[in-house]
């Protein structure tokens, strides 16, 4: 159980952080496209895709925090049970 949670935490945290960074980059590119006078549909689509990517990264990273909290709870419970 503990190794499964640790693996889930590690994967979710890495994927979440990568998606957050990618989302910010896409949003920045959409902003650049807007100021380069590209068609509205183009920069709007890029911006929307960037926001979707960013929010997905936030959600996955939030799940990673949940996994880490569960992992810490299990470790704490083991430590308390072994001291009794």
Contacts of 43 (CB under 8 A, 6+ apart): 30, 31, 33, 34
Average pLDDT over residues 49-63: 98
Provide the whole-model pTM.
0.86
| Residues 2-28: tens digit of each pLDDT | 789 999 999 999 999 999 999 999 999
Instruction: Tell me which residue has tokens 């890495």.
Output: 14
Contacts of 42 (CB under 8 A, 6+ apart): 33
> Is a pLDDT exceeding 70 seen at residue 47?
yes
In percent, how much of the chain has pLDDT > 90? 81
């Amino acid at each position: 159980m503990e190794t499964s949670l640790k693996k889930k935490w590690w994967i979710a945290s890495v994927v979440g952080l990568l998606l957050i960074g990618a989302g910010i980059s896409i949003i920045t590119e959409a902003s650049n496209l807007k100021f380069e006078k590209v068609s509205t549909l183009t920069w709007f689509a890029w911006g929307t895709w960037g926001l979707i990517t960013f929010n997905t990264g936030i959600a996955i990273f939030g799940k990673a925090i949940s996994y880490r909290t569960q992992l810490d709870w299990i470790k704490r419970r083991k430590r308390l049970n072994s001291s009794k």
